[in-house]
Structure 1
Amino acid sequence: MSLTGQFTHQDVLVEEHAYRLGPPTGILVLRYPAGEGPTHFPETRDDHRHQVFWSPTGALAVRHGGATTHLGPAQAFWARRGTTLEVTTCGSQAVHVACVREAPGHLRDLPAATVDLTPTGRAALERLCLPGVDEDEAMELKETLFAGITAPSLLESAGRGTGPARRVAAAMMSDPADPTELAEWAVRLHTSLKTLQRDFLREYDMSWTQWRTTMRLQASTALLGQYGVTDVAHRVGWASPSAYVQAFRRHYGLTPGAWVRRNALRAEAA
């Protein structure tokens, strides 16, 4: 049976499309439209189904244990039922979430993974969020969606700490350009600067400054190709595009422009 409905999430009306939910082969697709700010899927969400998170218009920030990553529109995130993780948009943007009871074979054993999503897979997921899709077509689209999920990369849980560094990291994930310095974070969290510095070293095996730079650079890779280098630099916290390019080259060994060209060539070859 095909069902369409709506519910409210963070004051935004969410579209819900359900296809053959009785059998384990059914699929539930949720479309969260862009709101006034980031959309947040906390660790405490109800995840009794396997889930695929994807945003067609911006970057998603994902935290699993102490590991964090950012995904662009050509990527999605797979979460097996019962996996503890947190997903946040980097700004106001739409999010699609596909929920299934049966996991495809190539993802069945992965608790949390970043994946590439082919153009046909993206088109199938967007089509599943439109009215007028009958159940037979929906089942075909579901198979197209999962066939379009490629190159899974396990996101390991890098830590299980509960200290203040985790709280700072969670806030920074959804807003990499946040200019707040660590001393101000310490004041907000009612802790000392030295305690917060030690907690970053313990939780992430690097200093606060190193962690923030690494996180911002990683977030920028999810935006390159959608926006120009200057725009990306500002979106992830660099006031100077040239400083961003220098930091990117030190970390990745090539410029942002070369990164985009290399990825385009790889996509053509695939």
Structure 2
Amino acid sequence: MLRNGHRKGHVVDPHGAAIAVGSFVLDDGEWFTPHEHPAHQLAWAAQGVLAVRTDGRTWVLPPSVALWIPAGVRHATGATSAALVRSPYVWPDRCPPVWNTWREPQVVPVSGLLRELIGHLAQDAAALAPEERRRAEAVVLDQLHPVSVTTVRAPVPTDPRAREVADALRANPADGRSLAQWGAVVGASARTLARAFAADTGMPFGQWRTQLRLEAAMPLLAAGATVSSVARRVGYGSPSAFVAAFRRGVGVPPGTYFGRPGQ
């Protein structure tokens, strides 16, 4: 049995079902503390934008995508805008063996059919006959197909001078100053800063800044901002340059990730 510890939600977990569904509301900026589940979770927001942090990675999840979190994987879940979360939980011993082979979190597209099926299973347990629920559960599991996307990740450096640069860029991702220019601000040479970013974040400064800009762009795009406006806000000279950077960094263009063809 899954327990609901959230004051603004509930869990539908009928006896013998393969899938339970938790429904709850998260306010903008509200997070659950790190935790894990005995069941696989499909973290998804029917409305708003969900975020999941695990193992040093962060996923931003608009309603067009969900994150499969294998049972036992420790994670924290929150909202970057007010969200109606509707998460299926799949019991490992009641699902096809293939789903138990996913050892790492996987991004899954949420089609219109999957959205409706999750809502169908979120009804009160008495609303569906056991056989009707089993048929719906089977179709849900058939709809889960991971897409190849890369997590956007911009770790914070530990070197105090590099951290000062990182904090300033988080506040204004469009700031285009070079490392030499930043060095004059924080009292370090460009070479020293470059070494600090590489040692502390595992990537060169230019790559780190691209990751930071994409990280800043994610919640803006998820909130419905246009590619053109987001490109300007995070420091790209043109929408095409931003789309190209997003595709390289994430693996798909923004329109595909956020379910808005044509962007």
TM (norm. structure 1) is 0.63
For residue 89 of structure 1, the aligned residue among 69, 73, 79 is 79
* Structure 2 match to 1:150: 145
Structure-2 separation of matches of 1:63 and 1:261: 22
Contact 1:40 1:88 in 2 (8 A): yes
Which residue of 49, 58, 63 maps to 1:73? 63
- Aligned partner of 2:212 in structure 1 is 212
Which position in structure 2 is the counterpart of 1:229? 226
Tell me, what secondary structure is at the counterpart of 2:145? strand
User: 2:41 pairs with 41, 51, 56, which one?
Assistant: 51
Tell whether the 8 Å contact from 1:50 to 1:79 is kept in structure 2 after alignment.
yes
State the alpha-carbon separation in 1 of the partners of residues 72 and 187 from structure 2. Answer: 35
Instruction: Name 2:200's counterpart in structure 1.
Output: 202
Indicate the SS of the match to 1:31.
strand
1:16 alignment partner in structure 2: 11
Question: Aligned-pair distance for 1:218?
Answer: 4.6
Q: Describe the shift of the 1:124–1:232 C-alpha distance in structure 2 as closer, same or farther (beyond 3 A).
A: farther
Q: Which amino acid aligns with 1:133?
A: A
SS in 2 for 1:90: strand
Alignment root-mean-square deviation, CA: 4.5
- The change in CA–CA distance for 1:227 and 1:38 in structure 2 (over 3 A counts) is same
Bigger mean CA deviation after superposition, 57-66 or 148-157 = 148-157
SS of equivalent residue, structure 2 residue 101: coil
Match of 1:117 among 107, 110, 115: 110
Q: CA deviation at 1:245?
A: 2.8
SS state at 1:215 partner:
helix
Check conservation: 1:17, 1:28, Cα contact below 8 A. Answer: yes
Task: Say whether residues 1:260 and 2:255 are aligned partners.
Answer: yes
Aligned to 1:130: 123
CA contact (8 A) 2:217 2:230 kept: no
Give the residue type in structure 2 aligned to 1:104: P
* Pair 230,156 (structure 1): closer, same or farther in 2 beyond 3 Å: closer
**Bigger Rg, which one:** 2
Deviations 1:122-180 (A, max 9, x none): 11111222235223332222222222212344878989x99869xxxxxxxxxxx9737
What CA distance in whole angstroms lies between the structure 2 residues aligned with 1:247 and 1:48? 43
Query: Following the alignment from structure 1 to structure 2, what is the Cα–Cα distance between the partners of residues 153 and 261?
Result: 12
Q: Contact (CA 8 Å) 2:217, 2:234: kept in 1 or not?
A: no
Between the aligned partners of 2:114 and 2:170, the Cα distance in structure 1 is 33
Amino acid aligned to 1:248? F
Give the Å deviation of 1:219: 4.7
2:85 and 2:228 map into 1 onto residues whose CA distance is 22
How far apart in 2 are the matches of 1:251 and 1:230?
12
Q: Percent identity?
A: 14
Superposed CA deviations along residues 86-133 of structure 1, whole A, max 9, x for unmatched, are 332212111112112224344321121111122111111112222352
The letter for the 1-side match of 2:242 is: F
Q: Is the 8 A contact 1:121 1:146 kept in 2?
A: no
Distance 1:206 1:19, change over 3 A: farther
Q: Which residue of 2 aligns with 1:42?
A: 33
Instruction: Give the conservation status (yes or no) of the 8 Å contact 1:51–1:100.
Output: yes
Instruction: Specify whether residues 94 and 150 from structure 1 end up closer, same or farther in structure 2 by C-alpha distance, changes over 3 A only.
Output: same
